[in-house]
Each structure stands twice: as C-alpha cells, then as structure tokens.
Structure 1
Amino acid sequence: MLFGKLLPRNTDFFALFDQHADHIVEAAQAFSKLVEHYNDPELRSQYHRAVDHAEKAADRVTHEVNKAIHQTFITPIDREQIHGLINTMDDVADLIQDSAETMALYDVRGMTDEISRLTDLSLRCCSRVRDAVRLLARIADPATAEAALKTCDEIDLLEGDADRVMRTAMSKLFREEPDVRELIKLKAIYELLETITDRCEDVANLIEGIILENS
C-alpha cells in the first residue's frame, strides 16, 4: 500500500484549469442573470443557487489541484505557479458568490446602472480568463503564446474600464443617494464587483508569468 502511494501520478493540470475556468464563467453568467432579473424574487433565488452551485464546483477542482500538486512526480509547470494560478482563479469564483450573497443579506432595493455595467465587465473579464486558460496547454507554440498574452492584455483593459466605472459610481453614490443605509449597501456591492475584475487581472498576470517562463 505504501509503495502504491509513492508511485508517481500523472495529473492533467491544464484540463483541471479548464474545468475551473468553465465554472467561473458559469458563476459569472448566473450572477449576470441574477442582476438582470433582480426584481423577480423567484428568478433571483434560482440564479443565486446557480452561482452557489458553480462556486462549489470550482472549489472541488481547486481542492483536486492542490492535492495533486503533492502527489504528482513531475508537473508541467512550476508547482508554485500551479498553486498560485488555481487559488487566484478560485478567488474569482468566491468573489462572485460573495457578491450574490451580499445582495441577499443586504436586501438592496434594486439594481443600478453601475451594478449592471460592473457586472457586464466582470462577466467579460471571466470569459477572457477562460480563453487565456484554455491556451496554456499549448504555449510552447509561439502563435498560441502570443494569443494568450493578447488575451491577458484585453483583461487588463477591461479591469481599467471597471476602475473608471467604479470611480464614477462612487462619486454619483455619495452625491445623489440620500439614504445612508442604501449608500453603505451599494458601496459594498460596487467594491466587490470591481474586485472581481482586479482578481481576473491577477490571474492574467500569473498567466503572463507562466508564458514568459515556459514558452
């Protein structure tokens, strides 16, 4: 039994990265639908459950990857890079779930244009993260590596757009929202949504590092 445990294992880390990225996009899409149908309590609850389901699926993949790091004799990229990438990706899924949970706990009156815009940017960032992750297994090919780096640049641009929306949203909120409790609720949600794009940028930066070191 001990000998069996010591045998090297083969783990397709890139396939696991792809699975996790799919779950991130599933969570982001469900959250986008939650925002779109916020005024319908039944649909809101349905999409909230979908967000939770996707986040839990992402957690399982993260656990599998972190376990496999210690059981795999030879990894396709540096172990620290694998650990950093999967856990930063998991932060994205966690933040999406946190955003849905915060809306439910705070009982926000309704969605704002700024929430819709930040949600759209978050979904687009998550989709581009998935695109970049799917290219990782083939970065030995120069054209693929270049395409992945270009996708990472697009994530950086989307994160910059989210920063600008966030600043405008905060300015408008403090100038126009008379209800202090609603102001506090919306501020928290704006910050969570903008942080999703920040963490997507962190994923892009990690992917760029992997490409530069391994392609």
Structure 2
Amino acid sequence: MVFNRKKDKFAALLEKIAGNLKESADYFADYKLGNKEDTKIFADKMKEYENMGDSLVHQVITELNNSFITPIEREDIWALSMSMDDVLDGMEHTAGLFEMYAIVKADEFMYQFVDAIRNCAIEIEKSIPLIFTKKLPEIRPLAIKIKDYESTCDEVHREAMTHLFAVETDPIRLIKYKEVYEHMEEIADNCQAVANTLESIVMKNA
C-alpha cells in the first residue's frame, strides 16, 4: 500500500494565497469595463478576492503562532505571505479607484500594466510549491521573470505619464489617470518584493 505524505500546512496555505492572487489577477486583467455599474461590479469582486487573501494570511499568522517548528524560517513564511497580500491589496485599491473616479474605459497603458501584473502572478504561483518540494534552483529563473515584468511596468509608467501630460487638457482627468498609473506601477513593485523574498528564501536554504 502506498501512503501519500500529507502536505505541510504552511505549504498548503501559501499555495492557496498564491492561487487566490493568480485568480484575482486574471479577473483584474480580463474584466471589461463599459459603464459606471461595471466599475462597481469590478471593485466589489476585487474586494472579495482581497477579503479571501486577508483570511488566508490570518490563518498563516495563527499557524505561525501555534507552531514550534516550521519548514523554513517563520520570518520568511510571514514575509512571503505579506508580500503576496500587498500585491492583492494594490489590485483591490486600484479597482476602487476605477469606481471612485468613474473610469469606464481602460486605455492601452492600463492594459499593458495588467498584462504584466498577471504574468507576475503566474510566476509567483509557480514558485510557491518549489519551496516546499526542495526544488529551490528552479525558483531563481521565475523570480528573474517577475523582475523583468516589473521593469516592463517601469517603462509603461514612463510612457503613460509622458503621453498623459502631452495630450490631456482636462486637469481633473489628468489627476485621475495619473493616480491610476502610479498605483499600477506600485502593484508591480509589490510583485518585485515577492521576487526578492523568494530569492532570499533560496539563498538561506540552498
């Protein structure tokens, strides 16, 4: 008879956080806005994903407080869960800006941002199981990809801001779009923070 080894509880929780992040990033990237009501649906759904993420992070913290032994350093488990949560918080906040500012049509720069953010989430989801199956060398290339996508967002941000200040004549609209661009770049920065945490875990446990 073959017995399957039970998955470590921290591995299971972190994989759930990464899976929820990937699912939310897909929704964030794919949802099509058309009117004011759409922005509320968008913001409400992202809030649901964010609430789920918060619940999972709370479970991680509870398990850390109740565990004497962890598969990797408890500080790294905490940092990884929080950095992934920061990405999701950023998406939820940005979705709220679309509703608050009644932005009913995404532009080409926003689509480039969300495509890169989605790709970051894909690499993050791939990375988490590798930590707990001792395939640490395979994490490094994924972390590099995440950083490459973040660099892409830096370029998109510069192009978006240059274009915005060159063509926008409505100061209120300029302020709205500027804030959205800045928050989208911040989401990418948070993805890079996840990559940095992953690399730190690899270095400590290699």
Does the CA contact (< 8 Å) of 1:170 and 1:187 recur in 2?
yes
CA distance in 2: counterparts of 1:188 and 1:129, whole angstroms: 26
CA RMSD of aligned residues (A): 1.6
Does the CA contact (< 8 Å) of 1:33 and 1:47 recur in 2?
no
Report what 2:183 is aligned to: 192
1:178 aligns with 2:169: yes
In the superposition, relative to structure 1, how do residues 156 and 31 fare at CA in structure 2: closer, same or farther (>3 Å)? same
The one-letter code sitting in structure 2 at the alignment partner of 1:87 is M
**CA deviation after TM superposition for structure 1 residue 84, in Å:** 1.1
SS at 2:33 equivalent: coil
Pick aligned residue for 1:56 from 51, 64, 74: 51
Pick aligned residue for 2:70 from 75, 78, 87: 75
The one-letter code sitting in structure 2 at the alignment partner of 1:145 is L
CA distance in 2: counterparts of 1:16 and 1:159, whole angstroms: 25
The one-letter code sitting in structure 1 at the alignment partner of 2:28 is F
Report what 2:152 is aligned to: 161
* TM norm structure 1: 0.88
1:116 aligns with 2:111: yes
Report what 1:13 is aligned to: 10
CA distance in 2: counterparts of 1:178 and 1:40, whole angstroms: 23
CA distance in 1: counterparts of 2:53 and 2:125, whole angstroms: 13
Report what 2:193 is aligned to: 202
The one-letter code sitting in structure 1 at the alignment partner of 2:175 is I
CA distance in 2: counterparts of 1:86 and 1:194, whole angstroms: 20
CA distance in 2: counterparts of 1:192 and 1:131, whole angstroms: 25
**CA deviation after TM superposition for structure 1 residue 47, in Å:** 3.6
Report what 1:7 is aligned to: none
Unaligned runs of 5+ in 1: 1-9
Q: How does 1:29-48 map to 2 (within 5 A)?
A: 29-34=26-31, 37-48=32-43
Does the CA contact (< 8 Å) of 2:98 and 2:104 recur in 1?
no
Aligned residues, how many? 200
Unaligned runs of 5+ in 2: 1-6
**CA deviation after TM superposition for structure 1 residue 33, in Å:** 2.5
CA distance in 1: counterparts of 2:194 and 2:84, whole angstroms: 6
Which structure 1 residue ranges, 4+ long, deviate > 4 Å from structure 2?
Answer: 40-44
Deviations 1:108-134 (A, max 9, x none): 252211011111111111111111122
**CA deviation after TM superposition for structure 1 residue 18, in Å:** 0.4
Does the CA contact (< 8 Å) of 1:27 and 1:97 recur in 2?
no
* TM norm structure 2: 0.91
Deviations 1:26-55 (A, max 9, x none): 211111123xx1114555443433222111
Does the CA contact (< 8 Å) of 2:123 and 2:145 recur in 1?
yes
Report what 2:127 is aligned to: 132
Report what 2:22 is aligned to: 25
CA distance in 2: counterparts of 1:93 and 1:51, whole angstroms: 8
